[in-house]
Amino acid sequence: MRHVTRLSACLPEPMIRYACPGCQKPLKSTVANGGRRARCPTCSLRFIVPTLNVLTVVPAPAPPRPPAAPAKAEPQPTVPVGIQFPNGPSIHAQVTQNTANDLAKVTLGGILVGTGVFLAAILFGRGGRA
């Protein structure tokens, strides 16, 4: 009589890896134990060993893309700006159009606020009269 060894007896049994639902300790078990009750050796929690059809495969995240090369900014047109103080020095500069627009907005805003304060003082204040 010939001795016949089954091929499956020579191969190691496939294992599944999972974490304890209580303490998250990494555990492993044979595939044949999937669906059976087990106890965590660390925290003694009783749980059901997951089966292969319950386990999900999560793809590895894609490697981060290298940052895109910054687009070369077009040089903005510049405009001359000058401030002349009465009986004093003057300041002159070359600024971009956006900066000149912002300067004009701030100046106009200051004039409007000053005018509003002046009119409020005239209309609602006593103006220094007794």
Answer whether residue 68 is part of any domain: no
Domain that holds residue 116: 78-124
Q: Is residue 6 situated within a structural domain?
A: no
pLDDT of 129 > 60? The answer is no
Q: Tell me what the pLDDT averaged over the chain comes to.
A: 77
In the chain, how many domains are there? 2
Give domain status of residue 94, yes or no: yes
Instruction: Give a yes or no: residue 1 inside a domain.
Output: no
Q: Apex CA 40: angle with CA 16 and CA 9, to 5°?
A: 35
* pLDDT number for residue 41: 92
Amino acid at 18: Y
Do the domain assignments include residue 72? no
Structural domain contains residue 24: yes
Helices (H), the chain: 7-10, 97-124
| 35 domain residue, yes or no | yes
Residues 49, 21: Cα–Cα separation, whole Å: 10
